[in-house]
Amino acid sequence: MPATIKLEDVIHISSIGNIAIFKVVSGVLKPNMKATIGNDTVTVKTIQLNRKNVDEAMHGASYGAHFENSQLKVLQDLKGSEINFK
């Protein structure tokens, strides 16, 4: 099932990588789902809610996710935008 998120913020943690703060608009986001952002295919590595790893992100709460193969500047430019994952 596809998922759409609204990107609220992006931070970079040197020991982890880029972390996206988002809300789910529709569907359910799970690790290993992919989205094309610019020329890159971004993969969800982990999802957190209240600093605890969770298996999925659903509509309602703000989550954080580690995106593999993401570029910080590209994600920052997308703040406020919706991103579709499959």
In the numeric block, which tokens belong to residue 2?
């596809």
Distance CA 9, CA 62 (A): 10
Distance CA 55, CA 36 (A): 22
Look up the CATH number of the domain holding residue 66. Answer: 2.40.30.10
Structural domain of residue 58, as residue ranges? 3-85
pLDDT of residue 1: 77
| Residue 21, helix vs strand vs coil | strand
Model confidence, pTM = 0.91
For a pLDDT cut of 70, what percent of the chain falls above it? 100
Distance CA 36, CA 70 (A): 10
Residue at token pair 């910080």: 72
Note the pLDDT tens digit of each residue in 8-28.
999 999 998 999 999 999 999
Note the pLDDT tens digit of each residue in 63-79.
999 999 888 999 999 99
**End-to-end Cα distance, the chain:** 7
Number of domains in the chain: 1
Task: Give the confidence band of 59 by pLDDT, cuts at 50, 70, 90.
Answer: very high
What is the pairing mode between strands 40-49 and 52-54?
antiparallel
